[in-house]
Chain A
């Protein structure tokens, strides 16, 4: 159907039980939420995710790339949040009507980590967890078989949808469509001939897929899994280490700092 987000590799994260990775994901979310008002406290969480990216075979370079690409977002977050806390902390500098304080900057950085850290954790999780194992793990957590598979398929459909958009753009360009002509409004208008074929293709794909799933008897009985992952000592150690680390960071993050 589509390649999905999973990348076939033989790394530490790929070998972990999906349940251990789910616990880790949850801990990252908790630590990110707990440190959202102090960016300095969020740095260990971010650093741990750079390590996780390396251990999942994606490399710290991807984290750098994501952060660089997110720099505009970071700047916007900084301005918005820092200005909201302009009455607290020491004034560092003013940008017109915006007053940036040290407290405001810490909050802004914390909010940035609150967004970027879970994103990186999800990237690590989905790129190192086979869709088959993800479905299995969700079922083990009590999610009904049909919903577990639907969730996994929906994730796989995202790259498929992007590919459909590219195919339609290429096809329309071959017919003379110029997307980058004119002002912003005209450019938006230029995209109209893409929307209908993309929606039509996606609907057709989803229809085909639903027929295939029905005739493969998805959700008919309690599914057997023959390629189940097994919980090992490394999973226990990983969960323990993660609990201690992220638990510690979260506790630190919840303590009043200023």
Chain B
């Protein structure tokens, strides 16, 4: 009895890309350059995957110094509201095609900082994310596994989050604006809110 993997079958039927796109996707998947944005925790899990224990360079993945050169943006740990501005700026400076990996529970649901006043709970609401790695902290093996998965996604043309960002820019921009309104100076915003409430009250 033959077991049919329906997911694979569907993908094979939908894979009607041109030959040139397939070749390009292969080369892109074999040479992913990574920019790691480690302002939160999690930077300690990266050195083991780049050094002799789990050498990630054998897949062609190397760390890069600037967003202009990078293909992958790796976000580790929590993102505070002010950090989010820099993350979005970094993301928009990267040339296409570009992919984002969110690393650690804090980028998925806030993790242990879920009720903090100045961190972002779900980074995916502000920039598009291809793969998230849950865990606090995930082991280096998890990062390696994710990288291999991303390589396969790039090769098969499934990693299209940057396309999503372009298509739904209104949604992301509205979320970003709502978030950055929170980063205004505290005293000024408090006084403005007070005035605002007062005028509303007088109308009633």
Partners in one complex: no
Give me the interface of A with B, judged by CB distance under 8 Å.
none
Give me the interface of B with A, judged by CB distance under 8 Å.
none
